[in-house]
Each structure stands twice: as C-alpha cells, then as structure tokens.
Amino acid sequence: MRYGARMPTAQQPSTGRRRNPATRAAILGTAFDVVAELGYARLTIEKVAAQAGVGKQTIYRWWPNKGALVLDAVLERSLGPGEPGDLPDSGDLEDDLTAVLVATVEEFADPAFDRALRGLTAAIIEDPELSQAYRERLDEPMRDLKRRRLRRAQEAGQLDADVDLDLAVDLIFAPVTRRWTERSGDLTPDGVRAIVRGALRGLAGSV
C-alpha cells in the first residue's frame, strides 16, 4: 500500500471529468463524524459511504484504507485551511509552553476530537506507512514550530545552548501525550505546568 501515489491530492490527467471537491469534502466530513462517534475500530467504509450519500467505489478510488481516510479527515478538520502559526512568545518560555500544553489538553477534553484522535493514533501505531504520512503531514510541521520556539529561547538565554532540540521537544511534550493515551496522570493546568517546570529545571537540579 503506497501512500502518496493515489492519494486524494493526486494530479489531474489531461482529460476526463474532474474530481468533485464537494464529494471529497462530504466524505472527509462524514469520516470525521463517524470516527468521532464510533471510534476507529467500528468505523466502516460502508457506513461512511452511506452517511455521506456516496458510492463505496468513490471512497476506495481515492483512499487505500480506513487509516488513510481518517488521517485526511483529521487533518482537514483540525488544521483547517489556515497555516499553523508560530507558538506564543511572550518572553517567558515556561509560561508559553504551559499555555500550549494547556490548549492541547483542552482539545482532548472535546469528546469528538478525543475519539477521532484516538482512532488516528490507533491506526498509526500498527501501520508504518500511515505513520510516515502522519509524521510528514502533521507531526513534523508541529515539531518544527516547537523547535523554532525553543531556538528563540536558546538565543534569549532561557535554554541551554547545547541541548538537542528534538530531545527537548520530546521531554516537554511526550509526558502529556502519554497521560492522554493511557488515561492516567495529572492533566490539569497545574499538572501540565509541573511537567514543563520539571523538564526545564531537571529532576536533579539542586543536587
């Protein structure tokens, strides 16, 4: 299964009827709704097709499987048309990172978004190709924003100059993701701030 070859964004051939953007939008919108309501395991192509008022073949023509469909659905819905802007930069790194993570946790609190993202995550874990597509289209762009904010912090002298930025991103953001996926651990604003503070100051800072 190759992603990117017959993906929904494949280029048009020179002749023939063109793809209907409204159909694409209806499919992705319905796919998001279904995964948000039933989760990934109980999402079926037939259900999406019927609920979107679309033939099954129309879905199979553009997406190789459930995972690719859900990835596009989540991308379309969560990111929307706008370019992702930079992370906040108030001058206080700890405050800014906490704000970003609190906003993330608030998104998880929306049951529809929570279930949709869980569905996508479950699909990604088992499918290396989908995982790569996710990385390139969602994770890596977000990571880039985080790295940029951290680099500014280094320039401002708020972060050690020699720390690897990918390590820093993982240290700060991975604990929140873990608490979310495993449904255990403190995800309140205070708990999130403690993670940021711990990552910045270190667990053995005063010894």
Partner DNA sequence: AGTTGTCGAGACGGATCGTCTCGATAAGAA
Partner DNA sequence: TTCTTATCGAGACGATCCGTCTCGACAACT
By a kind-dependent CB cut-off of 5 to 8 A, residue 131 interacts, out of a second copy, DNA, none, with a second copy
3-class DSSP state of 134: helix
> Rounded to an integer, what distance in angstroms lies between the CA atom of residue 22 and that of residue 16?
18
Residues near DNA (CB under 7 A): 13-20, 23-24, 26, 42, 44-47, 53-58, 60-62, 65-66
By a kind-dependent CB cut-off of 5 to 8 A, residue 192 interacts, out of a second copy, DNA, none, with none
Measured between alpha carbons, how far apart are the two ends of the chain, in Å?
A: 52
**Residue linked to tokens 């996710």:** 134
Cα angle for residues 78, 41, 75 (degrees, 5° grid): 15
**Contacting residue, 70, 71, 168, 187, with a second copy by CB under 8 A:** 168
Site for a second copy in 30-89 (CB under 8 A): 39-41
> Rounded to an integer, what distance in angstroms lies between the CA atom of residue 174 and that of residue 28?
28
Task: Let me know: does 8 contact 62? Beta carbons within 8 Å.
Answer: yes
**Contacting residue, 47, 147, 158, 189, with a second copy by CB under 8 A:** 158
By a kind-dependent CB cut-off of 5 to 8 A, residue 54 interacts, out of DNA, a second copy, none, with DNA
Tally of CB atoms within 10 A around 64: 16
Least distance from C-beta 85 to a second copy, angstroms?
23
Which residues make up the interface to a second copy (CB under 8 A)? 39-41, 93, 118-119, 121-126, 128, 131-132, 134-135, 139, 157-160, 163-164, 166-168, 170-172, 174-175, 177-179, 181-186, 194-195, 198-207
